[in-house]
Structure 1
Amino acid sequence: MTLTVACRASDADKHDKDVTALLFHKGKLYSGADGGKVKVWSEDLVKQGEVQAHTTPIFSIAASDDTLYTSSIDGSIKLFDLNTLQEKQALRQGENTEYWRVRYTNGHLYVGDNEGNVSVFKNNQFYGVVNVAEPVKDLQVIEPYVLTVQDSDLFITEFKLDGEKIQFATDSTIPGRAPVTLIGNSFFALIDRDGKEILLHSTDKQSGFKQLTKIVHGSEDNRVINALAGAQWAGDNLLFSGGWDKVLKKWKVLNSQGLSDEGSVNVDLVINAIATGQPSSVYAGGTDGHIVRVDCS
């Protein structure tokens, strides 16, 4: 398996500061950075637009059919038109809370913050909040379960959203740290507490969300992993990892219980964020605003 850097955002168009978030949605790549800007790119990393979404670093971005959601250290959650990047409204503005993660699924926006809360919005209206005990550095949703993690434990909490108020129950606690990513509907991956091994788990509650394997990312100097992204391409369950060693690595889930090394490439930037695009393409962003597309063949 060969991984090749296919294209790179130009020096004139790249972010001025570190890229912190990437999202591939409806054939476009959206990026957020420490400078507070959101940029939108073609698949070939030609810039198509940008907006100064925040004056402080962007932590996370998410999208629905017509709306882009952003969260920042400035205590705000903002909504932008997906195509024009015109600001539509702010769900939260100028609060003392830092909103670290936004995820959108099935009409629900889930927002994790530095105080350990997961707030839920339905149709952009506040629905309720659940405290999950630890600050939410990363968050994934496979309804009815919400996976939240900081630096020591991942909490799996069942959310019931069919009543007037959220009903919830903590289901499982798994040792590990951010980031966490879904791989299709059957698996999720996170990092061990030292930040150097990838932990693959089942999403099956009956198995107790069983750990299936753990594996070292493979950097020569054993540096910490910063980013994970899962994908399902042509029936294969795939995982991409990257971090301080500047290496983007591809893994394949084998027989629902292991990870096979499918190749790697040095992208010449410390990787902070990864997003999977169209089958066989994956994007990595990081230091000094650089973004690259890597093709798998």
Structure 2
Amino acid sequence: MDEKRFSQSDSNLQMANNARIEHTSSEGHEGDATCVAYFDGQLFSGGADGKIRIWSPELQLLATVNAHEAYIYCMAINQHGKVYSSSCDGQVHFMMPPYGDDSVQELFRCDDAIQAMYCDGSVLYTGDDKGVVTTWTNDRMLFKYSLVEEVKSLAGEQNLIYTVRDLDVVVSQVAEGKSGKYSNKAVIPGKSPLQLLGPLVDGKRSYLAFTDRSGMGLQLVNNLSQQRYSKIWELPDCHEWIVNALCGNETYLYSGGYDKKVKGWTDLGAGKPKALGEVEVDSCVNSICCGANNTVYIASSDGYIRSAKFV
């Protein structure tokens, strides 16, 4: 498919006004709400206070877990509902339902910052500031891959590892066998964050989304092997400030950042995305995730959690 590039002023990309904030949490984290993840009818938020809060879909607080003694960087949830979280003191913890202080266990600790994690089924991927990606299954380490540069965003699928290193998105193919070796399959100009999304085809997501090198525009490329990561479209300067949060599903892509806005997009594979609208958040958007019934959950720098609807 030919690459499509659109300016923010393109009349077909003007934002609709259907998007709205539906709920705001009655209380927040102490400091930033740093990450959110949704699983099986519950929302999990991590914060600078080291706590993981568990919410109903309508953002009623169900539980507060003292997961860490330090700032939480990120979370990931596997197919069994095991919640992994990393903190700035180099520790990665996990918990299983029923979630609570007594269920928190340590997976490992290190001298490096684990700033990115991702779950694909039962496999956990962790990436650190030294450029090492580690894969885990059943809470046992499988392999370590030294990708040289700091891992700022991370995903994994089948035998592929997707990372962002400064100004490039890198797709690495893992060698078969117990070698820990890999080869670069693609290097694409772009920045963190990245997001796998779109319909599943032979166990792989159809699209890979990430920001352009300015950090304020979005790009979408084909993720299926026969398409060789060809660019579908590019939206330069679709945000006024740096984008630092993406989420998506089979149909929609959402983006949020320092401009205190979350925006939605659809018709992703049609060559020209359709803008769904935008919501204003009162503070910087740190993390977003997709929930049920086309709900988007937002973690922001004021410590509060919000839910938004775009369709």
TM-score between both structures, scaled by the size of structure 1: 0.91
Aligned to 1:183: 197
C-alpha separation in 1, matches of 2:126 and 2:285: 24
C-alpha separation in 1, matches of 2:147 and 2:304: 34
Q: For residue 181 of structure 1, what is the amino acid of its counterpart?
A: Q
Question: Of Structure 1 and Structure 2, which has the larger fraction of its residues in strand?
Answer: 1
C-alpha separation in 1, matches of 2:287 and 2:104: 26
C-alpha separation in 1, matches of 2:268 and 2:285: 25
1:118: Cα distance to partner? 0.4
Aligned to 2:246: 228
State the structure with bigger RCO (CA 8 A, min sep 6), 1 or 2. Answer: 2
Work out whether residues 39 and 81 of structure 2, in 8 Å CA contact, stay in contact via their aligned partners in 1. no
Matched, 1:73 2:97: no
Aligned to 1:8: 24
Q: For residue 192 of structure 1, what is the amino acid of its counterpart?
A: D
Structure 1 regions of 5+ residues with no counterpart? none
**CA shift in 2, pair 1:4/1:177, >3 Å:** same
C-alpha separation in 1, matches of 2:231 and 2:175: 25
C-alpha separation in 2, matches of 1:143 and 1:73: 29
Task: State the identity as a percent.
Answer: 28
C-alpha separation in 2, matches of 1:100 and 1:82: 24
C-alpha separation in 1, matches of 2:272 and 2:220: 8
Aligned to 1:154: 169
Aligned to 1:197: 217
TM-score between both structures, scaled by the size of structure 2: 0.87
Write out aligned runs for 1:134-145 (5 A): 134-145=149-160
C-alpha separation in 2, matches of 1:151 and 1:22: 24
Residue 234 (structure 2) aligned to one of 203, 210, 214: 214
CA RMSD of aligned residues (A): 1.7
Matched, 1:280 2:294: yes
Aligned to 2:178: 164
Larger CA deviation: 27-36 vs 201-210: 201-210
C-alpha separation in 2, matches of 1:285 and 1:182: 20
Q: For residue 206 of structure 1, what is the amino acid of its counterpart?
A: Q
Aligned to 2:43: 29
Structure 2 regions of 5+ residues with no counterpart? 1-15, 199-204
Deviations 1:223-269 (A, max 9, x none): 1111111112xxxx210011111111110134443322111121222
Work out whether residues 97 and 103 of structure 2, in 8 Å CA contact, stay in contact via their aligned partners in 1. no
C-alpha separation in 1, matches of 2:59 and 2:131: 35
C-alpha separation in 1, matches of 2:146 and 2:166: 17
Which secondary structure does the structure 2 equivalent of 1:96 belong to? coil
1:150: Cα distance to partner? 3.4
Deviations 1:39-64 (A, max 9, x none): 11000001111122122211111112
Which secondary structure does the structure 2 equivalent of 1:206 belong to? helix
